[in-house]
Amino acid sequence: MVNTFQANRIVKCYKSNDLSKPFVGKISDVIDNDAIVDILDYDPSDRYAAYKVNYTVRVKICDIVPLEVKRHTQ
């Protein structure tokens, strides 16, 4: 399952030590069973917490779900 999570993957994170609500982010690095995630979209109530950690958090792999980005063609 760790192979699914590589750098630049868009993911939804359900738990983090720094933010209280789920958020969407982009993996910047994978270290052992954790991922360094850049926060892209978060709950407004977590705005200050996201700012405080400079929009980057460490999240356990088990708390991450990969997202599929689909492009619409005309």
Q: What is the CATH number of domain 2-66?
A: 2.30.30
- Nearest-angstrom CA–CA distance, 66 and 64: 7
- Nearest-angstrom CA–CA distance, 20 and 26: 18
Report residue 70 CA to chain centroid gap. Answer: 18
pTM for this predicted structure: 0.84
pLDDT digits (tens, 9 = 90+) for 55-73: 999 999 999 999 987 888 8
Residue 5 is predicted with a pLDDT of 83
The yes-or-no verdict on residue 1 having pLDDT over 60 is no
3 band by pLDDT with thresholds 50, 70 and 90: low
Residue 33's closest CA among 69, 57, 1? 1
pLDDT digits (tens, 9 = 90+) for 5-43: 888 999 999 989 999 999 999 999 999 899 999 999 999
- Nearest-angstrom CA–CA distance, 52 and 66: 25
